[in-house]
Structure 1
């Protein structure tokens, strides 16, 4: 695996194989098995796999964990090499933002001013900006993103469509621990007691999916019950919400569109997110 700290270095390496189909898997490092599954999925769709590790300051709010975000570069490199990644783009902040970033991607407010966007103002603006920049740097034909960040995936897919970018977006399934907890870099913040409690979030989503499959139509009641159950066990829920998969809007009463149930909640100091397609 070649490691490139500069844009010019990465582009020169990719130019040596101009006919190759390139897949990009963007990350912020602190890799887990979920990330590695995306790398392997990328290999199924491309000749050359490029991973990136860049902790993007633009998508962190002023009171969020940018400075504390785990940085495990050497271990990450070992995992990527073992997974067969060809190139790692690992720029310093000065390489990605040599001058202040005055130009930004502004996603549709209808897609950002809700769910995670309501809890993290400006997050998706910063995320979309850095993803577009990575697309321009790497120029992949394929990019792989996990379904765990469902709202992020929707926004990226819409950005690619509306800018007519020649990139196929591959949707990676969420990887889970044996007890159902969605793998996340932030799981490392959980105490031992919190880690035992954490799968409750996924169990509530599974319960909602089962109730809807059994014919339940009162979505507000299902959401309210799940929030109350989490709060009763020490969580601070941001939302539990049943939405249309296509645009994450609230479904109308007789809307038969495919659905997804999404949730975000704090357990102690750790904010966890998850979702299940219905």
Structure 2
């Protein structure tokens, strides 16, 4: 049975930038094993599957898969899926909702379509939970894993720590953008020193003035050498900076070294609500032909 799919580049306003995403529409009836195989076939950092919601007041159930596992929540898959669904609705001449409500394993995720001069251009999600601060890791340990001098890993205003707004990341502030770009992971040491922690996914960042951040997301033990744009990590970082400052409003540049430059907009309210948004570009569309063995 054929299933329609659309691919988009997320957190970019131009083709071949940002983070690619495959969105499988009409996914009702696919089992978990098949979804995992499809995600592995696409080979993107994530693939989403759009299913009917359990509650008719919501717009869809969205399941998110990496090539290796299902995720309870992720950033660029929500932004990209909302963009694709808004594009579908507009193509049918239907009025867009103010926001989509997606049922996910982490909870209900609101995602608002972005319009510019009446044209669909992107989307913005609200994280399903407030920021959760987890364990801290010694700066010296992180420096060894990243093959950096210890002084390059800052402990002020926070030490390296696990933070989550739906998906946990190890948030590491580095001295400057040069340190972020120079970091490379010692995978054996990462597995040895952080194998028992809540996450081994490293989100490295440096501040550039008050409203801009330069970041990289490295997760080699989960099959992602580097991710060009990571909305869930951006949400976690936004939650942390909002907790430190009372509110936050900044833009993250990510994926620059990879040749897939991304712009992620993050805002955190005084009450701790975290929003992450960006532009999207449609890249491909087609039909996924899934046949059972023997067909």
> TM-score, normalization: structure 1?
0.31
Q: Which has the higher strand share?
A: 2
Q: Which has the higher helix share?
A: 1
Structure having greater relative contact order (Cα 8 Å, sep ≥ 6): 2
